[in-house]
A and B are shown apart, each in its own frame.
Chain A
């Protein structure tokens, strides 16, 4: 069953809660969906163009109704929604951990935090007891120490959402940290917490969640689990064993690893041998763990550095922590890291400082490429930091220093890097009077990402159109690069979306994937589990299981079609907020290197670049979405079809709604298939298994 929406006004020190309205349950489900509804409504009374650090910004947390129930064995993910101080547009974040579970067990599905506390505070939640408490004694502490101290003071049953120095010092890409280890990354939610003088939320919940039909829930969960162990076996196996780190080798073959600031899309084999997931498991992994309640995969792993494994291990002997995701690993190879112990250390350090791994990794890689090219020198570094450091590829000690300087607001490097890599490039252009933007890697809204997109047509569009900026978690899809022919046929009735290199049908693939991802993120389940097991990874189970589980938990009936539409509705709210800020087609773009520089000779997918066919794919994406392809704006007809008449009214009043009649999806698909059938180019993805021999490290 549903819980309540908790509202905390830090300025007025007011706390209230009210039930999730029935209409919202069916229209937005929960998690991302209801967060978005709360967010949209907030900015009807507040100018959307506010400074995201002003007290008028809102920070919303939510876990959908299936989260923390064990439903489908897919774990629990928290969603956060706010205006991003990093990209000055819609911001959201997702993360694991038991914090979200405790919130639900305390009776809350969503929490909306507004205003700004006069002094550092934390929110104390013990079931129905909610208080705003003094956090002066915690201010200045890192994430790990804050988490530890709060649990020592309040009891081990409490779980925390906390910030460290990054958030306190308003680093725009500071994360939201749960349980001390699990990051709500991207877009700077932790910075919003810091701007509100909110150090932490500590919660204990013992009320549990009432299940409408427990037997039915067990039955559908068993079905999902059996499917994962049979048809979806390979997906489950790899996640359970390696977590997302299994990607490092696969991506090296397919050309996705961002070696040395994306100058190359694969790392030398001799480096990979001591950096892959097998090495991690053999040398460092000590225990399997699930990051949240109800997860049957348990893709997290606890690790330890003994000290004799590698050169960096000597520096960081004795450290322990939670498993880095692929994204953390890639955020290290992007600055040329060649040592797994350095990756593990950065995972701990960046978590403690709450630095978003993608932003800090890309910022440092960007500086290193400028150093490689002689655009910045030791003299510049000395001027900015007081130390004449050479910025050599792979130097983890330099990375450690820079990370601390930025989070601690110690020197001018904080001013240069605090806004992320896109803002850093602008700052350095001002300081040096040289064009450096072509070495800066970013996608839509000036947001970087640490996967190279030139070898995958579909992901180029995904990185350009994501409403929160460039990354994979708004449209998680493997259809093209994993050649998921059965999935493509089931969803679209054709295998073309699963055919590499063919640009046609890739735009509509991402349009679909965005809707699907938003729907899954409204359930409260982990996107990796739910997407792979019940949809992307197995064409047998399909999305039917989620509405079935939803009924078993809440008693609300929802058809599969209604569930799919829900995702599209949610995505449209996020898009509409950005449209109100003036974002349009021009903002759905990618950086110079991805668009214009082909993959170098000898590397996987050599010669490919995102700029090829990009406009055609974007047209197709907009058309499948029901947007106006000329402007990228939403159309009145589509918003009305989705039941978002209120959103259409706002956009129309502000002059940012298109009156173009959208094409039916079936027509867009038929036209795309026709073009794909006429495609004369190569339909093979070119992998490269030998580049390690040819590439010099």
Chain B
């Protein structure tokens, strides 16, 4: 069984991938957010994971906020059919 997940890209991923959003089909019904990240890393390669993953610590960069259906989430968060996922580089200032 497959599930469809809607992915929303905010800057700078939006510019890097030239996409505002897309629907991704995942093979596993029990997929997690980390599965999606791995899928997108394979699909887009270095330009995707350079912005998301810390190469030294080998984990998500501090300051990358993950949302599933509008709620703060972790890489282990399960996804389901029509889940809405967003990667937000959330820093403040002004």
Contacts and interface: CB of A to CB of B under 8 A. Distances in A.
Interface of A: 230-231, 233-235, 237-238, 241-242, 244, 246-247, 249-251, 253-254, 256, 276-278, 325-327, 330, 451, 459, 471-473, 476-478, 481-487, 500, 528, 532, 537-540, 604, 683-689
A299 to B, nearest CB: 10
A687 B91 contact: no
Which among A233, A235, A237, A482 has the greatest number of chain B C-beta atoms within 10 A? A482
B12 A483 contact: no
Contact of A276 (B11, B56, B89, B91): B11
A244 B93 contact: yes
Nearest to B86: A689
A685 B65 CA distance: 10
B57 to A, nearest CB: 7
Nearest to A256: B92
Contacts of B84: 689
A250 B54 CA distance: 20
Given A234-B63, A539-B62, A689-B84, A684 B93 contact: no
23 contacts: A233-B61, A234-B61, A234-B89, A238-B91, A241-B12, A246-B12, A246-B89, A249-B10, A250-B10, A250-B88, A254-B88, A254-B90, A278-B14, A472-B92, A472-B93, A478-B63, A478-B93, A482-B62, A482-B65, A483-B65, A486-B62, A685-B71, A688-B70
Which among A249, A250, A459, A683 has the greatest number of chain B C-beta atoms within 10 A? A250
B72 A685 contact: yes
B91 A235 contact: yes
Contacts of A476: 92-93
Nearest to B14: A278
A127 B67 CA distance: 55
Which among A244, A686, A689 has the greatest number of chain B C-beta atoms within 10 A? A689
A686 B70 contact: yes
B48 to A, nearest CB: 13
A326 B90 contact: no
Contacts of A687: 67, 70-72, 86, 88
Interface residues of B, number: 31
Interface string B30-62: 000000000000000000001100111100011
B87 to A, nearest CB: 11
Q: List the 6 closest pairs (A to B, CB-CB), nearest first.
A: A684-B71, A327-B94, A482-B90, A684-B72, A482-B63, A478-B92
Nearest to B65: A483
B15 interface: yes
Given A472-B94, A482-B92, 14 more contacts: A231-B56, A233-B50, A237-B51, A250-B88, A276-B11, A325-B94, A330-B94, A471-B94, A476-B92, A483-B63, A483-B72, A539-B62, A540-B56, A685-B72
Nearest to B68: A684
A539 B57 CA distance: 11
Contact of A238 (B14, B54, B62, B89): B89
A241 B15 CA distance: 11
Nearest to A237: B12
Contacts of A233: 50, 61
Contacts of A686: 70-71
Contacts of B50: 233
A87 B11 CA distance: 37
Contacts of A244: 93-94
Given A330-B94, A689-B84, A484 B63 contact: yes
Interface string B64-85: 1101001111000000000010
B3 interface: no
A237 B64 CA distance: 13
A398 B5 CA distance: 45
A477 B64 CA distance: 15
Contacts of A688: 70
B72 to A, nearest CB: 4
Contact of B92 (A237, A481, A500): A481
B67 to A, nearest CB: 5
Contacts of A330: 94
B90 A689 contact: no
Contacts of B70: 604, 686-689
A249 B89 CA distance: 10
A483 B87 CA distance: 13
Contacts of A537: 62-63, 91
Contact of B11 (A246, A483, A500): A246
A249 B88 CA distance: 9
Given A244-B93, A325-B94, A253 B55 contact: no
A251 B89 CA distance: 10
Contacts of B62: 482, 484-487, 537-539
Contacts of B94: 244, 247, 325-327, 330, 451, 471-473
B81 to A, nearest CB: 17
Contact of A689 (B8, B57, B73): B8
Contacts of B93: 244, 247, 326, 472, 476, 478, 528
B12 A500 contact: no
Interface in B1-24: 8, 10-12, 14-15
A234 B71 CA distance: 22
B61 A250 contact: no
Contacts of B72: 483, 500, 683-685, 687
